[in-house]
Structure 1
Amino acid sequence: MRTHFPGRRGRSRWRRLVVHLRLAVGADAGPLWRPVDRSRSRALLAAWLAMVVTAVGAGAAALLLYWSAQGDAARAAAKLHRVPAVVRTEPQQADLTASGAPAGGYRAQATWTYPAGHTVTDETAVPSTASPGSKVLVWVDDAGRAAAGPRSTSDIVATTGFIVLGGWAGVALACSVAYSVRRSRLQRRAEEEWQTDWAVVEPTWTGRAGGRNGSAD
């Protein structure tokens, strides 16, 4: 019965990686290795390197996008104000998304005063539990118009992650396809070289080159 020891599989993977590295840089890893094997190692390492570089780039892009979005959100929030308002109508569910979920929560007519002395009655987002006559807090801009609230950190993180992961997945897929195509071509090349070599060796190997074991009768 074959026994597997912890860590043996990991060491085997590292040994294979070392072999690929030696082949990729042109070092001789053994007498049976062929030029096509070196090309395979280089293609494999190039694919992995592209994936690593892309992952690092995606991480950097995520940070840049997040910081930029946070800056935009902070500038937008500086122009928004939370003011008290009186609800005038029953809250109605906002337009639905394709899945049937509320796209913007609930909305109702409400009245508020902002800036000082400027009274506005308009439709705005309200809690689903609001009722006519109840008081709620609403978001308005500098002119007193109803506005959406500032973006939350979780929303920024989710949007940034979706964009960055989508881009990284696209690049990773392109690298995977390119490597698969290259590997298939190298496999065909290896088979052609093997057939060519076998055509030379086979008569001697089988004894057809001249008598038994290749010797003349």
Structure 2
Amino acid sequence: MRRPSQPGHGRPERRLLRGAFGHGMGPLWRPVDRARSRARLLLRLGLILALLVNGVLAGHGVATAPARARAEAARLHLVQAAVLGRAGPGATGVATHYHTGELVRVAWTYPDGHTMVGRFDLPRPVDLGQGLPIWVTDRGEIADPPQSAAALALLSLGMGAGGLLVLSLGLQALYLLRRRSLDRRVDRRWAEGWAAVEPHWSGRLHGRPGNPAA
């Protein structure tokens, strides 16, 4: 035999919705209880919205990764640069060999024939005057190598996950602040009510010490 449902009982989602609007929760359901239910409801809706938005953005980033990779590769050019010498702070003289990670001055010829000079962190050891492949933009400026479609897709997924994490933490923080505010309100009202009842309950109002019911 099926038991009749009690006020406020049922599936958690249904209970949360009913509690947020105060329907069918019984005579002991207070306004502060309704405010707490609304805060939980807003938190869940915010998390769902954050998941949807970041999921859509991440999916769009993954879908457009091949086109973005082709566009990035089209604006970059691989040229041969020559090492001219050290470029770090206090660098003097010219060495015949340079190590990985060392900052050096390099010269390269831009695709339209202009020779340019700049600074470059060596990805591998090279000798003075040795050719060094570098990527440059259409304006001839040194650039990072073009990223593959897979790398751009992973970057989009990572940004989506990071955005979801940040939004989730922010929503959780707002929810906790709201709950703390409601708890302080309950404590304050309880203290005010007890201050009004305690003299009658303890008998102090009528000059009788202790609980009059004792």
- TM-score, normalising length: structure 1: 0.55
1:58-73 correspondence to structure 2 within 5 Å? 58-64=54-60
Structure 2 gaps of 5+ residues are: 1-9, 90-100, 206-211
Aligned-partner Cα distance in 1 for 2:110–2:181 = 72
Give 1:39-58 correspondences, 5 Å limit: 39-58=35-54
Q: 1:53 to 1:120 in 2, by over 3 A?
A: same
Q: Matched residues in 1 for 2:28 and 2:178: separation?
A: 22
- Does the CA contact (< 8 Å) of 1:91 and 1:128 recur in 2? no
1:27-64 per-residue CA deviation (whole Å, 9 max, x = no partner) reads 33455433321221111221232133123223333445
CA distance in 1 between partners of 2:164 and 2:86 (Å): 40
Q: 1:16 to 1:130 in 2, by over 3 A?
A: same
Cross-structure match for 1:175 = 171
Q: 2:186 is matched with which residue?
A: 190
Contact 1:43 1:182 (C-alpha < 8 Å) held by counterparts: yes
Deviation at 1:119, TM superposition (A): 6.7
The reply on whether 1:120 has 2:115 as its aligned counterpart is yes
Residues 90, 38 of structure 1: alpha-carbon distance in 2 compared, 3 angstrom cutoff: same
**45-54 or 30-39, larger mean C-alpha shift:** 30-39
What's the TM-score, normalizing by structure 2? 0.56
Deviations 1:162-212 (CA, angstroms, capped at 9, x unpaired): 59836862x5455344433432343244345556777679969x9x9xxx8
- Secondary structure of 2:117's aligned partner: strand
- How far is the alpha carbon of 1:91 from its aligned partner? 5.5
Alpha-carbon displacement from aligned partner over 1:128-157 (angstroms, at most 9, x marks no partner): 3111232332224457x3531344254785
2:105 aligned residue: 108
Query: What is the aligned partner in structure 2 of residue 97 from structure 1?
Result: none
Identical columns (%):
28
5 Å matches for 1:1-217? 19-30=15-26, 32-64=28-60, 74-83=70-79, 85=80, 87-90=82-85, 92=87, 106-112=103-109, 114-115=111-112, 118=113, 120=115, 122-123=117-118, 125=120, 126-142=122-138, 145-153=140-148, 154=151, 157-158=154-155, 161=158, 165=162, 169=166, 171-172=167-168, 174-191=170-187, 194=190
* 2:81–2:134 CA contact under 8 A, matched in 1: no
Amino acid at match of 2:143: A
Map of 1:5 onto structure 2: none
Give the gaps of 5 or more residues in structure 1. Answer: 1-13, 95-103
Q: How far 1:81 moved relative to its partner?
A: 2.0
Paired residues in the alignment total 185
